[in-house]
Amino acid sequence: SDQSNHSSSRLPNGKAHVQPQNGLSRKREALLSTKKGLPIWPHAEGIRAALRRNNVLVLTGETGSGKSTQVPQFLLSEPWCSKCIAITQPRRVAAISLARRVAEEMGTFMGTGKAAKVGYSVRFDNATGPNTRIKFLTEGMLLQEFLRDPEMEQYSAIIVDEVHERSVNVDLILGFLRNLVADLERGKAKKRKQPLKVVIMSATADVEGLVKFFDDGLKEETANGEAGGEAVEETNSVTPGAKKDKKMAKRSASDDTQPQQDNRISTCFVEGRQYPVKMVYLPEPTDDWVESALKLIFRIHYKEPLPGDILVFLPGQDTIEGLEKLVKDYAEGMEKDVPKLLALPLFAALPQHAQQLIFEPTPARTRKVILSTNIAETSVTVPGVRYVIDCGKSKIKQFRNNLGLESLLVKPISKSAAIQRKGRAGREAAGQCYRLYTEEAYNGLDERTTPEILRCDLSHAILTMKARGVDDVINFPFLDRPPREALRKALLQLLNLGALEETGVISERGLKMAKFPLTPTLGCVLVEAAHRDCLLEAIDIVSALSVENVFLNLTTDERKEEAETARRDLYRREGDHMTLLVTVQRYAEERTGRKAWCERHFVSHRAMQNVLNIRKQLRELCKSLKMLSYIPSDTPPAPSEERTKDILQCLLRGFIMNTARFMPDLSYRTFIGNQTVAIHPSSVLHKRQTEAIVFTEFVFTTKAFARGVSAVQYDWVDEVIEKVF
Ligand code: ADP
């Protein structure tokens, strides 16, 4: 049951295409009246006026007030807007679903066709056409465009959405934009003739800080290239504009946009509708969120009337899938007269069509239970929710400087995130929020989430900056300056990977690495592989590492055993990477029954389709970078022993920080940092002993695990360490 007036079809090139059908006008009318009811609607004229006068607007508004869907539409027919509007999202899920929604609202096509006015661009999936006017893209994709088109000539406006999430990428975008806006205003742009309008949007932003950030950029007389000076920032303490802004923030929330005459940065506040939300805390702390959430879901379902869907926040895909299964099992045993329960997962790696299900209206006599990561916090607005269950945790990236390893850790969320989660319950009516922690624990939470730039591996960010010509990264205008030690570590890492010259200038190799939508480590593996003449194999491995789980996760022991047997001829004693290579090669060779082949081998068909798509794009990219002389139509033969050694040494070159040796006490210790790691149970090398390993992922759950593991020789590691350090 398609709720929209569009049907999706696949174009010959595999791109999704949304096509208007009959009943268009009636549907559009309904959509139009929904649009007009959004809190942002009365601000349309104010927003347009602010951007006619100023080039920068900072816009804050509650989640669901209509920022992401409406603002680009408000600006489309402005006199300055002759080109495309870019709007960035931290997650691909949001970019894709917003593009669909906006195309639907505008009654236009979405995708690659000539008639499509709306499109999206996410990693390895570009759905934009020659006449795209509104383009939703992930932050990483916009950064790539910054490298190709330094003055962003294809855009009339760039809207940076969800700034409060403060991903590293958004911080880089803000720094680049600040300098670009300042250069344009001073007539220092080399090519660009038209103005560039910039809108910074968020649910809970520090407006004052953002206004000051852009204002300082405009005031810096000495601003030159990308290097904004710390010193200049200090002499400009608080600007009059920013002071005024503080006053505005305190004013009654119903105020409309108040453009400031003497201010070069406009601000706008959109007040969302919020009904009261009743808070319930656990009396005692628990670690078993799944169990507590399960009990609560059924208590709410039996006790509370319909309608009223439940939104559960959990840390990640594993807990979500676990709870989904439990809810389904228990729901099957419910009495006939009890309404149905429909469990729907929501996480970044979920296939698109499954994500779209959360927007479908709840069927009659049914309650939806959406099990989500923090995606549903502000990024995606789930309609119909009246009950929120919040486990109080999320997975965050954490870089450990001393180890040089980055890992995903389950950590307590911040107060600000907890408040956002609670708010999801009161969007359409009064609601309830159950926190699976004590009130005391809530009071002990940090006020805000630490920006990613202060806690993650910066090597990718710095490579991007260097590729854009920022030589002095220490003085780059960061909204929050990362610690010097972290910058130093990242520079060192890039030096080790050969991305920088000794002088700190980006190398030929580094420029190539920056052009890949991959981490510098994976980029390095490819560049190395081109030298060692095993690039096609390396591309296959990197493609497989770029998707979630190629091998299906099996829950029962019986199924696990069955899968082990079925996959035996894919497994390689050299480890997971060669196993992935064989899997990709066999799948690619299987021309007729790929789906059946996947079923027989307990391999995810969807994941493999993605792998082949990524492989195709990486092959094309390598060809355009002259790393590959031609794109072969078939798969190379299974690698010889000699070639296997080459492939593993390429991995080693990129992942030298992720190497460990076998110790007499039967543990593995990293070569650099001497940290104990265990081989993850999902690895084909689990419980195997080998003199040294290289791993592509470091995860910390109950303990430190190496995931994606290959067996290598001790001497090889030594050799690379000798050469690099
Ligand atoms: P904001 O950016 O302020 O959070 P949005 O513009 O994303 O607000 O959302 C405005 C409204 O549009 C919300 O009520 C939301 O539920 C709805 N909406 C957004 N995306 C979709 C979609 N893909 N399908 C259906 N409704 C959507």
CA–centroid distance, 206 to ligand 1, in Å, is 23
pLDDT of residue 396: 85
Q: Is the peptide bond before 39 cis (omega within 30 degrees of 0)?
A: no
What is the pLDDT, as a whole number, of residue 205?
Answer: 67
Q: In angstroms, what is the span from residue 26 Cα to ligand 1's centroid?
A: 20
Q: Is the CB of residue 68 below 6 angstroms from any atom belonging to ligand 1?
A: yes
pLDDT tens sequence across 270-326? 987 789 999 999 999 888 889 999 999 999 999 999 899 999 999 988 899 899 999
pLDDT at 294: 96
**pLDDT for the residue numbered 66:** 93
CA of 69, closest atom in ligand 1: 6
* Residue with CA at minimum distance from ligand 1 atom 22: 101
Q: Does ligand 1 come within 6 angstroms of the Cβ of 69?
A: yes
Q: Is 680 in the pocket of ligand 1 (CB under 6 A)?
A: no
Prediction pTM value: 0.84
Q: Which atom of ligand 1 is nearest to the CA of 356?
A: 23
Three-state secondary structure call for residue 160: strand
Q: Would you say the CB of residue 355 lies under 6 angstroms from ligand 1?
A: no
For residue 108, give Cα distances in angstroms to 67, 105, 113, 355, 670: 20, 8, 11, 22, 54
Structure tokens at 683: 């690895």
Q: Which atom of ligand 1 is nearest to the CA of 383?
A: 16
Higher pLDDT, 706 or 378: 706
Q: How confident is the model at residue 471, as a pLDDT?
A: 86
Residue 270 Cα: closest atom of ligand 1: 3
64 touches 272 (CB < 8 A): yes
Going by CA atoms, what residue is nearest to atom 25 of ligand 1?
359
Q: What distance in Å separates the CA atoms of residue 680 and residue 693, rounded to the nearest whole number? A: 12
Q: Model confidence at 547, in pLDDT bands (50, 70, 90)?
A: confident
Summarize pLDDT for 616-666 with one digit per residue, the tens. 999 999 999 999 998 988 788 888 999 999 999 999 999 999 999 999 998
Ligand 1: atom nearest CA of 381 is 16
Ligand 1 mean position to 115 CA, how many Å?
A: 24
Evaluated on CA atoms 671, 676, 680, 685, the torsion sign reads: positive
Using DSSP, state whether 47 is helix, strand or coil. Answer: helix
pLDDT of amino acid 170: 96
Distance CA 459, CA 462 (A): 5
The pLDDT assigned to 27 comes to 78
> Does ligand 1 lie within 6 Å of residue 359's CB atom?
yes
Count Cβ atoms below 10 Å from residue 243 Cβ, excluding itself. 13
Report the atom number in ligand 1 closest to the C-alpha of 201.
2
Q: What separation in Å is there between the alpha carbon of 558 and the centre of ligand 1?
A: 43
Share of the chain above pLDDT 70, in %: 90
Q: Judge whether residue 251 has pLDDT over 60.
A: no
Best residue among 6, 33, 69, 271 to mutate for probing ligand 1, ranked by most atoms within 8 Å of CB: 69
Residue nearest to atom 5 of ligand 1 (CA): 66
Ligand 1, atom 7: nearest CA belongs to which residue?
Answer: 68
Q: What is the Å distance from ligand 1's center to 359 Cα?
A: 9
Distance 189 CA to ligand 1 centre (A): 36
Q: How far is the CA of 68 from the centre of ligand 1 (A)?
A: 7
ipTM over 0.95: yes
User: Which of 235-249, 308-322, 464-478 has the weakest average pLDDT?
Assistant: 235-249
Establish whether residue 64 lines the binding site of ligand 1, counting it when its CB lies within 6 angstroms of any ligand atom: yes
Pocket probe for ligand 1: among 35, 101, 163, 268, the residue whose CB has the most ligand atoms within 8 Å is 101
Centroid of ligand 1 to alpha carbon of 63 (angstroms): 9
Strand-pair category, 393-400 with 676-679: unpaired
Give the dihedral of Cα atoms 663, 665, 668, 670; nearest 10 deg: -60
Q: Residue 41 carries which side chain, given as an amino acid letter?
A: W
Residue 269 has pLDDT above 60, yes or no: yes
pLDDT band at residue 724 under the 50/70/90 scheme:
confident
Per-residue model confidence as pLDDT tens digits over 17-34:
454 445 567 777 888 888
Its sign, for the CA torsion 692, 693, 698, 701, is negative
In the prediction, which pLDDT does 402 show? 55
- Mean pLDDT along residues 106-110: 93
Report CA(95)–ligand 1 centroid distance (Å). Answer: 12
Question: Which percentage of the chain shows pLDDT scores above 90?
Answer: 62
Predicted local confidence at residue 273, as pLDDT: 79
pLDDT, position 677: 94
| 407 in contact with ligand 1, CB cutoff 6 A | no
pLDDT at res. 8? 42
pLDDT band (50, 70, 90) for residue 245 = very low
pLDDT of residue 289: 87
pLDDT tens by residue, 137-191: 999 999 999 998 999 999 999 999 999 999 999 999 999 999 999 999 888 888 8
Alpha helices in 76-206 (DSSP H): 92-106, 139-148, 168-185
Q: Quick check: CB of 272 below 6 Å from ligand 1?
A: no
pLDDT of residue 533 exceeding 60:
yes
> CB of 100 closer than 6 A to ligand 1?
yes
Chain CA centroid to CA 602, Å: 28
Quote the ligand 1 centre to 69 CA distance (angstroms). Answer: 6
Calculate how far, in angstroms, residue 575's C-alpha sits from the geometric centre of ligand 1. Answer: 45
Q: Is 379 a pocket residue for ligand 1 (Cβ < 6 Å)? A: no
**Ligand 1 center to 411 CA (angstroms):** 28
pLDDT of amino acid 222: 46
**Has residue 249 got a pLDDT over 80?**
no
In this structure, what DSSP letter does residue 91 have? S
pLDDT of 679 higher than 90: yes
Mean pLDDT score of the chain: 87
Per-residue pLDDT at 468 exceeds 80: yes
Ligand 1 touching residue 6 (CB < 6 A): no
Instruction: With beta carbons less than 8 A apart as the criterion, state whether 538 and 647 touch.
Output: yes
Question: In angstroms, what is the span from residue 181 Cα to ligand 1's centroid?
Answer: 29
Would you state the pLDDT for residue 174? Answer: 96
First to last CA, the chain: 60
Instruction: Return d(Cα 526, Cα 534) in angstroms, integer.
Output: 9
pLDDT for residue 231 is more than 60: no
C-alpha dihedral, 104 to 105 to 106 to 112, nearest 10°: -30
Nearest to 478 by CA among 168, 142, 202: 168
Each residue of 549-559: pLDDT tens digit? 899 877 677 88
The reply to whether ligand 1 has any atom less than 6 angstroms from the CB of 610 is: no
- Given a cut of 50, whether residue 266 has pLDDT beyond it is yes
pLDDT confidence band for 698 (50 / 70 / 90)? confident
Determine whether the shortest distance from the Cβ of 67 to ligand 1 is under 6 A.
Answer: yes
User: Which residues are 263's β-sheet partners?
Assistant: none
CA 613 to ligand 1 center in whole angstroms: 29
Nearest CA to ligand 1 atom 14: 64
Query: In terms of residues, how long is the chain?
Result: 725
From the CB of 97, is ligand 1 less than 6 Å away? Answer: yes
